[in-house]
Amino acid sequence: MVGQVLQELMGDQSLGKFRSEYEKLHKALQKTHESEKRLMQKCRELNAEIVANSAKVSTALKLSQDDQTTINNLKKVLSFSLYRYSF
């Protein structure tokens, strides 16, 4: 399609300036499209990294809560043992 348009523009010398602008716009569009593809790929990669890190944070939070429960249980056992042996 683009090649056909350029061929038609090349055949008509009176449209030389238009052809030149058309070529510039076409190159700019191609460059923008390539940049958009790279950005979309980067977005997918960053999203995957966010999901992975979110899972790690969730796991760390669960472990922290479990540790806190263990600490509280050990404090109760220690407190009970100290109370029991103080009498």
The domains of the chain are located at 2-86
| pLDDT attached to residue 80 | 87
Q: To which residue do tokens 């980067």 refer?
A: 42
At 34, list the tokens.
């390539």
User: Along the 87 residues of the chain, how does pLDDT read in single tens digits?
Assistant: 767 766 766 666 677 777 788 889 999 999 999 999 999 999 999 999 999 999 999 999 999 999 999 999 999 999 888 888 776
At 38, list the tokens.
């790279």
| pLDDT attached to residue 5 | 67
Is there a contact between 18 and 1 (Cβ–Cβ < 8 Å)? Answer: no
| pLDDT attached to residue 12 | 65
Nearest to 2 by CA among 24, 13, 85, 15: 24
pTM of the model: 0.59
DSSP state of 12: -
